């Protein structure tokens, strides 16, 4: 029996057409599937719904909620769901859906393209074929399909602007890949599903990301407090270093924590984990109540903080959420 696959389209390069102002989303889902070879279409029973029509730069928390609601409402009617999406913010969407749909019992697979589907050299065709195969695999979770590779949604990072291998799986093995033997799943790279799926799509939009630079003025935290930000993710140096000589960031972090702000600190280094126990600067930060991001991607750290702050304001509960891996986003 053919697997029933729901394809939700949101726009992006894969659906773009040339305009006087450059590429812009122009193809609907029916047109996208119409460009698939008949041999692919014969393998699946595909239903298409156009839910958004946006360049992914314009996909924001409100759109994440729309996408999550469509997935949740249809999760029992289909064997898998494919979402076509622009590449620029796809890793953020994949991460946040991993948290909003904890326990999803079917494959949810995001994909897109570096060249429009109508381009004779498009990578969109191969990416869609891979996404459909993963959606039909029965492997529960949120994933990203690109360049014949399947990445756990909360471990994906876009690392190239034009190359077809646009995404990397950071600090985590691939969930699957395609080779001469077909789709090869790696069950050990897919975390077990959580309890029964509930849609928890409340997010806190007042989360700020700072990339630490030498000499950064600590007064920026005063400004963020005045703007009522509730959470900050800091990309610190190396294993988690923050300066405290002359410009004392750690003192400001203490003041921010006392004012009710949650601070998560990760590393600017893409690979491997932050470790605040190594150096004096890191231990000072821990003493001020910061939450270590460990080996989370920036996308996962930001979206997890947005999601957690949407669930609770209790500091102990926030710490508890970050002390656990919810969807495979962190190695503990």
> Any idea which residues carry the catalytic annotation?
13
CA dist., res. 27 & res. 49, Å (int): 12
Q: Where are the alpha helices (DSSP H) in the chain?
A: 29-34, 38-41, 61-74, 90-100, 124-135, 220-226, 249-258, 280-287, 298-311, 315-322
- Do the bridges between strand 167-169 and strand 156-158 make them parallel or antiparallel, or are there none, so unpaired? antiparallel
The separation between CA 330 and the C-alpha centre of its own chain, rounded to angstroms, equals 13
Cα distances (angstroms) measured from residue 26 to each of 21, 22, 23, 160, 278: 13, 12, 9, 24, 51
Contact of 230 with 206, CB cutoff 8 Å:
yes
Q: Helix, strand, or coil here: 215? A: coil
């Amino acid at each position: 029996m053919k697997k029933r696959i729901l394809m939700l389209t949101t726009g992006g390069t894969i659906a773009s057409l040339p305009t006087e102002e450059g590429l812009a989303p122009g193809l609907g889902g029916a047109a996208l599937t119409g460009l698939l070879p008949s041999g692919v279409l014969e393998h699946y029973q595909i239903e298409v719904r156009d839910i958004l029509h946006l360049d992914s730069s314009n996909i924001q928390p409100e759109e994440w909620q729309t996408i999550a609601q469509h997935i949740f409402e249809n999760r029992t009617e289909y064997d898998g769901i494919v979402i076509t999406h622009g590449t620029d913010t796809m890793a953020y969407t994949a991460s946040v859906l991993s948290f909003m749909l904890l326990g999803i019992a079917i494959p949810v697979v995001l994909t897109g393209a570096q060249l429009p589907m109508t381009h004779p050299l498009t990578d969109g065709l191969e990416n869609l074929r891979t996404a459909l195969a993963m959606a039909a695999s029965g492997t529960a979770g949120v994933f990203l399909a690109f360049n014949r590779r399947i990445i756990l949604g909360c471990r994906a990072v876009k690392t190239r602007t034009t190359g077809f291998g646009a995404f990397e799986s950071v600090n985590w093995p691939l969930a699957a890949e395609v080779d001469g033997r077909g789709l090869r799943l790696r069950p050990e790279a897919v975390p077990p599903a959580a309890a029964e799926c509930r849609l928890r799509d409340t997010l806190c939009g007042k989360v700020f990301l700072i990339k630490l630079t030498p000499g950064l003025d600590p007064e920026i935290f005063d400004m963020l407090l005045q703007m009522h930000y509730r959470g900050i993710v800091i990309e610190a140096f190396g294993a988690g270093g923050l300066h405290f000589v002359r410009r004392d960031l750690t003192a400001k972090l203490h003041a921010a924590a006392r004012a009710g702000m949650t601070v998560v600190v990760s590393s600017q280094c893409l690979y491997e984990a932050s470790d605040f126990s190594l150096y004096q600067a890191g231990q000072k930060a821990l003493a001020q109540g910061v939450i270590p991001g460990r080996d989370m991607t920036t996308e996962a750290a930001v979206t997890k903080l947005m999601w957690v702050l949407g669930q609770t304001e209790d500091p102990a509960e926030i710490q508890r959420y970050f002390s656990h891996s919810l969807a495979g986003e962190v190695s503990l």
